[in-house]
């Protein structure tokens, strides 16, 4: 499932087009690390500055049944944060009910991943937007189908990746492995966000991990986001304040001229 040497497979599957507007891919070291709240907070950062940021979660599992369709709670949250005008089935074009890896969920549902639908959604999301925030699923080696992982999607999109990581023991290894995989695939890695950092009494590991990640990963820890125990329909103030300190427009690829034009 390596990224290199897959041109024939990509042609058959309708390889995703590279994104041509400023954008960010929010990925993580694992499932459940808080990619969605970080992606939503970044989308809200753009919104507060009067910029239109499209949001997309190409694939979601563990979706709920609502009437005759599946709904992704993550897509709902992203739509709310970005004040998106797009319907949820465009924000999240591939949805599965079982909370499993997409390759397994798709196989069990008898519904193979539709790459053309994902590509259409991403390209539609770019129209009329000044930036796009794409949220991955699981970690970078999470299989999306029999031949592709999140890493392939990152390679195809060619936008800077933000790695969301846990604060505690073990996160150095997980984060550095994720960064290595992205870099080996030719994906630009903009930085790391440490999420769910304890507000009171952090452990020695939690206190020292950010500096170790920066040292050995040769990458900035962009911000440290406090723990969010209950996720509501919007980004908590404490998380918004942590994300506020970062120039996400510059990281996404805005030039000074583009910002002035916006």
Helix 237-244 vs helix 35-48: crossing angle, to nearest 10: 70
Q: How far apart are CA 184 and CA 165, in angstroms?
A: 19
* CA–CA–CA angle 65, 25, 50 (5° rounding): 90
**Based on the number of CB atoms within 10 Å of its own CB, is 50 exposed (0-12), middle (13-18) or buried (19 or more)?**
exposed
Residue for token digits 């954008």? 23
Taking the alpha carbons at both ends of the chain, their separation in whole angstroms is: 40
In the residue annotation, 215 being an active-site residue is answered as no
Q: Determine which one of 57, 215, 218, 229 is catalytic.
A: 57
Cβ atoms of residues 224 and 197 within 8 Å = yes
Quick check: 90 and 79 in contact, CB under 8 A? no
List C-alpha distances in Å: 129 to 117, 159, 190: 19, 15, 21
The neighbour count for residue 243, using CB atoms within 10 Å, is 22
87 CB contacts (<8 Å, ≥6 apart)?
none
> Which positions are catalytic?
57
């Amino acid at each position: 499932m390596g990224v290199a040497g897959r041109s024939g497979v990509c042609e058959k599957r309708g390889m995703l087009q590279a994104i041509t507007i400023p954008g960010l891919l929010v990925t993580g070291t694992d499932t459940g690390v808080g990619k969605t709240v970080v992606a939503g907070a970044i989308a809200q950062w753009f919104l507060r500055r009067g910029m239109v940021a499209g949001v997309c979660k190409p694939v979601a599992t563990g979706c709920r049944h609502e009437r005759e369709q599946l709904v992704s709670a993550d897509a709902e949250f992203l739509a709310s944060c970005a004040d998106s005008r797009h319907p949820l089935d465009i924000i999240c074009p591939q949805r599965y009910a079982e909370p499993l890896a997409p390759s397994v969920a798709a196989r069990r549902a008898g519904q193979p991943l539709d790459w053309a639908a994902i590509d259409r959604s991403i390209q539609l999301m770019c129209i009329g937007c000044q930036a796009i925030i794409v949220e991955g699923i699981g970690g970078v080696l999470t299989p999306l189908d029999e031949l592709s992982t999140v890493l392939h999607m990152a390679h195809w999109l060619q936008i800077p990746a933000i790695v969301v990581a846990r604060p505690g023991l073990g996160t150095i290894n997980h984060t550095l492995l994720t960064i290595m995989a992205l870099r080996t695939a030719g994906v630009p890695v903009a930085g790391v966000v440490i999420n769910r950092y304890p507000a009171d009494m952090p452990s020695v590991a939690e206190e020292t991990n950010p500096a170790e990640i920066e040292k050995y990963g040769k990458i900035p820890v962009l911000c440290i986001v406090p723990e969010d125990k209950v996720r509501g329909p919007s980004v908590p103030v404490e998380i918004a304040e942590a994300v506020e300190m970062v120039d996400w427009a510059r990281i996404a690829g805005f030039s000074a001229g583009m910002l002035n034009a916006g």
